[in-house]
Chain A
């Protein structure tokens, strides 16, 4: 089946630095990918929708300049958390659309900003 590989699985960074999270579709082409954020014991909150070759669509309240999304190819979308702060610590999950209503999720990235 369709597999999405997300890296890194865990990252610890210093406050003020930037972190890049990658999401790759391994055996299919993903024209649309979604980025979610999940706080402990909470549900997945959609941050943005990225479409290959065009600008990402951000949800209300998500800072575009803080969370940079690039979807330059049909198999790779990246999320860069710029100038990270402790409040950005969270679990970030990507998802790729594999069919009209079908999605597959990455395994998530635990970001800790110290």
Chain B
């Protein structure tokens, strides 16, 4: 089935630094979504991208849908301690790709640690 390669697997950064993480796929995706998950909680949607080339911001977060439709990145500027968590990319493959209707495929996550 569809697979998303997410990197880096983990990051340790100083408070105030900028963060960048990305997801790639060998096949195209129709949407790219970025979620944050904190311990013992379900994922919370941060940014949703629906068009190739789309660049969207949500506060200090910025994400882009790659022009090839096979990648996406998420940037966090001026990190703060509450940014700690696991960030997942997710996407919808095209309808005829073999995946079920509107099923999400998740990356393996990027664990972010922020050092005050």
Contacts and interface: CB of A to CB of B under 8 A. Distances in A.
B66 interface: no
A90 interface: no
A20 B104 CA distance: 24
Given A43-B88, A43-B109, A44-B88, A104 B45 contact: yes
Contacts of B102: 32, 97, 100-101
B16 interface: no
Nearest to B111: A41
Interface string A75-111: 0000000000000000101010100111111111010
A97 B107 CA distance: 19
Interface string A46-60: 100100000001000
Contacts of A93: 42-43
Interface of B: 30-31, 33, 35, 40-45, 48, 50, 88, 92, 100, 102-104, 106-109, 111
Interface of A: 6, 9, 32, 34, 41-44, 46, 49, 57, 91, 93, 95, 97, 100-108, 110
